Amino acid sequence: MSDDAVRPARAADVPAVRAVTDAAYRPYVPRIGVLPQPMAADHAADVAAGKVFVTGDPVIGLVVVEARPGHLFLDSVAVHPAAHGRGVGGRLLRFVDARARALELTEIRLYTNALMAENRRIYPKYGYEVVERRVEGPYDRIHYRKRLDPGPD
């Protein structure tokens, strides 16, 4: 596998998935005042369920996705801070588009905390549009969607 390929995570990747997720989301804890949900996820269960895809050797980035009725839900994008600026996040977001198309889904949905301003700048650059802002418990979230062309028949 080349370093820029994205592949399904394996059980052996769980410690790296946890470490990259924690490194990526830890800087947000003081800003949002709560633990970001990806940091509390059951990474082993997500990997076992086939929801986690990783890139890099060692792992430097990952996405957690789940096929739902009518759309692909992008639960988490995490890039280790040491890999910022190397195109890892863009590569992962393009993979999510390809994954949705492979599953014959024409929409991707996600949300991000309203205080994660970096994400609010990034997602529109990749074709995501704001759907709504909703407070859910301690989380003030901006919900996004991206509509994909169905592709050739």
The CA–CA distances, whole Å, from 142 to 51, 74, 127 equal 22, 13, 15
What is the DSSP pairing of strand 71-79 with strand 107-113?
A: parallel
Indicate the pLDDT class of residue 90, thresholds 50, 70 and 90.
very high
State the average pLDDT over residues 85-107: 96
- Report the range of poorest mean pLDDT among 16-20, 63-67, 116-120, 131-135: 116-120
Residue-wise pLDDT for 68-80, tens only, equals: 999 999 999 999 9
Closest by alpha carbon to 25, among 84, 93, 78, 64? 78
State the average pLDDT over residues 91-100: 97
Closest by alpha carbon to 94, among 140, 63, 57? 63
Between 119 and 17, the higher pLDDT residue: 17
Residue 151 has pLDDT above 80, yes or no: no
Q: Using omega within 30 degrees of 0 as the cis cutoff, is the peptide bond preceding 138 cis?
A: no
Question: What is residue 125's predicted lDDT score, i.e. its pLDDT?
Answer: 95
Percent of the chain with pLDDT over 90: 91
Indicate the pLDDT class of residue 3, thresholds 50, 70 and 90.
low
> In residues, how long is the chain?
153
Question: What is residue 4's predicted lDDT score, i.e. its pLDDT?
Answer: 81
Mean per-residue pLDDT over the chain, rounded: 94
- pTM for the full model? 0.94
